[in-house]
Amino acid sequence: MFKDETKLDINYVPHRLPHRDSELRLLMEFFNSMQQFPGKMSQRVLVTGEVGTGKTVLSQRFGADMTREAGNHGTHLRYIHINCREYHGSFFLILQHAVSVFHPNFPKRGYSAEELLRILAQILEEENAYAILTLDEFDSLILREGSEAVYQLTRLQEVRQNKPQRLSLIFILRDISLIDKLDASTRSTLQSNIINLAKYSKQQLTDILNERVSIAFKPLAVPEETMNAIAELAFSENGNARFGIELLWRAGKYANAENLDTVNPECARKAVSSIIPATKRSDLAYLSLHEKLLLVGVARLFKESHKAQVSLAEAEQAYMVACEEFNTKPHSHTQLWKYLQNLSSIGIVKTEVSTAGPRGRSTLVYLPRIPANDLEKELETLLQKGEE
């Protein structure tokens, strides 16, 4: 299946970021003065957005591009990306790591955080270098250290009067309201340049996933309907692109393990059930008889067809076959619709009204999170118990 699965790794930084071009240009514009007038002014930028909106990869792409551009202009620039959560929000440990980028064998003991900050500034001075320090998961530093650490970082230049401004800062956090926990003087140093990343739409997620498929998978390995199913799952997880990319990788692994020709939607359902706990058995047990019959019919449809969605008409036909198998008279179309709505409300299936096609509006049924094979087995067990 895979051409290069490392392109699906969480740490991979693609050369192109679909639907983040404008934000990348804005970041470059904020730091443009570093290119034109090195040392004349430093910069501070806040990047905010929910999980999976591309905050980290945007900053890392910017860091790589900015470092290359600076080199072309003869400027020694280092981009340093630190995840504050990895260092438990400790200002001391964060600065220790920043210093170690320049001096890997720097002593781990004997200095305070304040001394390490001065040492970092001194190193930049001695090497005639500039640095962009990006603090990812900045929330952790705020919650642990409060205003003092942030104040020291942002006011570093004040204790270095008449010297080049060599350290610029990017702060990445999910919830910008956490800035309110800082005192007024510290907040004032942060609130000038803010880039907020909106959640991705389903179409944007599809574009992102298609981009990754083109560089990570062999040609035609991932059909369009599988892509759509994974994009839908990522969209349901708050527009989380990272989640979608993780699903892609896992689905590819399931397809490889089963020696399939393509990564089909069932592989995606297996992948998501391995990340998010699937519907509890108790949820299925409490369904009515006809809800179980409808659902077992739907599960069989997906198992046999490997499709991402089926029509309501197909689901109704499969339900009637299941009713016949279990010697039960089928209920009306109206009642069936109510069952489907209940199954949708508890997250077992998903429905969507489509206006495409010659017959106008039609209802499509998705099985988003549970492998069809697993669902069929569980429901058959419950239905057989009900007959005993």
Please work out, in degrees rounded to the nearest 5, the angle formed at the alpha carbon of residue 157 by the alpha carbons of 151 and 160: 130
Residue-level pLDDT at 158 = 67
Taking residues 201-230, report their average pLDDT.
95
Q: Mean pLDDT over residues 319-341, rounded?
A: 93
CA pair distance 8, 10, nearest whole angstrom:
6
What CATH class does 20-197 carry?
A: alpha beta
| Rounded mean pLDDT, 312-328 | 94
CATH of 281-387, one of 1.10.760.10, 3.50.50.60, 3.40.50.10860, 1.10.10.10: 1.10.10.10
pLDDT given for residue 369 in this prediction: 78
The per-residue pLDDT for 386 is: 72
Tokens of 207: 């574009």
Alpha helices in the chain (DSSP H): 21-30, 32-36, 55-72, 91-102, 113-126, 138-145, 147-154, 184-187, 202-216, 224-236, 241-257, 265-275, 281-285, 289-305, 312-325, 333-345, 372-387
Instruction: Give one word for 327, left, alpha or beta, with left for phi > 0 and alpha for psi -120 to 50.
Output: left
CATH 1.10.8.60 residue ranges of the chain are 202-275
Task: Assess contact for 363 and 352: CB atoms under 8 A.
Answer: yes
**Domain 202-275 is found in CATH 3.90.110.10:** no
- The predicted pLDDT at position 356 comes to 59
Closest to 175 in 3D by CA, of 143, 202, 149 = 143
Q: What is the pLDDT of residue 385?
A: 77
Could you report the per-residue pLDDT of 256-278, keeping only the tens digit for each?
999 999 999 999 989 988 776 55
Asked whether the predicted pLDDT for residue 312 surpasses 80, the reply is yes
Q: What percentage of the chain carries pLDDT values higher than 70?
A: 95
Three-class secondary structure of residue 276 per DSSP: coil
Where residue 110 falls among pLDDT bands split at 50, 70, 90? confident
pTM comes to: 0.78
Please tell me the predicted confidence (pLDDT) of residue 277: 54
Mean pLDDT to the nearest integer, 217-226: 95
Amino acid at 324: E
Of 27-31, 233-237, 284-288, give the lowest mean pLDDT range.
Answer: 284-288
Per-residue pLDDT, averaged over 57-77, amounts to: 94
Q: Are strands 129-136 and 44-49 parallel, antiparallel or unpaired?
A: unpaired
Whether the per-residue pLDDT at 319 is higher than 60: the answer is yes
CATH 1.10.10.10 positions along the chain are: 281-387
Range(s) within the chain of domains with CATH label 3.40.50.300: 20-197
Return mean pLDDT, the chain. Answer: 89
* pLDDT score of 279 more than 80: no
For 172-177, what is the mean pLDDT? Answer: 89
Tell me the mean pLDDT in the region 269-294.
80
- Rounded distance, CA 302 to CA 336, Å? 18
Q: What is the mean pLDDT of residues 6-11?
A: 92
For residue 247, pLDDT beyond 60? yes
pLDDT of residue 162: 76
Q: Are strands 167-173 and 350-354 parallel, antiparallel or unpaired?
A: unpaired
**Where is 82: in which H helix or E strand?**
strand 76-83
Instruction: State yes or no: pLDDT of 118 exceeds 60.
Output: yes
The torsion angles phi and psi of 366, rounded to 5 degrees, stand at -115, 150
pLDDT at 245: 95
Of 340, 363, 364, 350, the residue nearest 288 (C-alpha): 340
95-104 own/partner pairs: CB under 8 Å, 24+ apart: 95/120, 98/131, 98/133, 99/123, 102/78, 102/127, 102/129
Residue 34: count of CB within 10 angstroms of its CB: 24
Amino acid at 174: R
CA angle 188, 194, 200 (to 5 degrees): 150
The answer to whether the beta carbons of residues 56 and 173 sit under 8 Å apart is no
Q: What is the mean pLDDT of the segment spanning 125-153?
A: 92
Is the pLDDT at 358 greater than 60? The verdict is no
Note the pLDDT of residue 160. Answer: 65
